[in-house]
Amino acid sequence: GCCGGMHFSDVLALDLTTMVWSTLSTVGKQPGTRDSHGMALVGHRMIVLGGTNGSKKINDLHMLDLRTKEWSEPKFEGNPPSPRESHTTTVIGDDKLLIFGGSGEGDGNYLNDVHILDLKNMKWISPVVNGEVPAPRDSHTAVAVESKLIVYGGDCGDRYLGDVDVLDMDSLTWSK
């Protein structure tokens, strides 16, 4: 995260029984300082993608095994999403990670693209989507409900958005 212009690379854990925060000690090559990154929990793995390190937007992928507390930088096939921050990183089912939107390099470069990482074979795809594609945005929220991705709100530079868009993952079709 980031506070007062300083970027951090620590991992914080909340004990849900005691409601006490602690810093998790990890081993391996850490992702490095960043904020506005995407994060998702898949089984016992925490996946971190992209963000900004304070000077540029990045698109690296890291995994933290929460059992061993070890970081890794997994190999994958295909083309990852372009460097971005303030995107959503959503688990679809138990084997897909969907990246939507965010902001890319340069001023006012808001995105509305979709990228999917198949976690079984670690392959990126950038599918062609149909329907009413949402306006480019960052700082939105997204949640998976069965085979649907529901996206709400966000920012596109000159205004805040309050719309709801739904991506049907079976047909790759957007609707309002």
* Three-state DSSP class for residue 3: strand
Structural domains of the chain in order of their starting residue, each with its CATH number: 2-175 (2.120.10.80)
- For residue 118, give the H/E element and its range: strand 110-118
Q: Supply the mean pLDDT for the chain.
A: 95
- Residues 98-108 have pLDDT tens digits of 999 999 999 99
pLDDT digits (tens, 9 = 90+) for 5-32: 776 778 999 999 999 999 999 999 999 8
User: What would the two tokens of residue 34 be?
Assistant: 């960043």
Q: Pick left, alpha or beta for residue 143 (phi over 0 → left; psi -120 to 50 → alpha; otherwise beta).
A: beta
pTM, 2 dp: 0.92
The length of the chain in residues reads 176
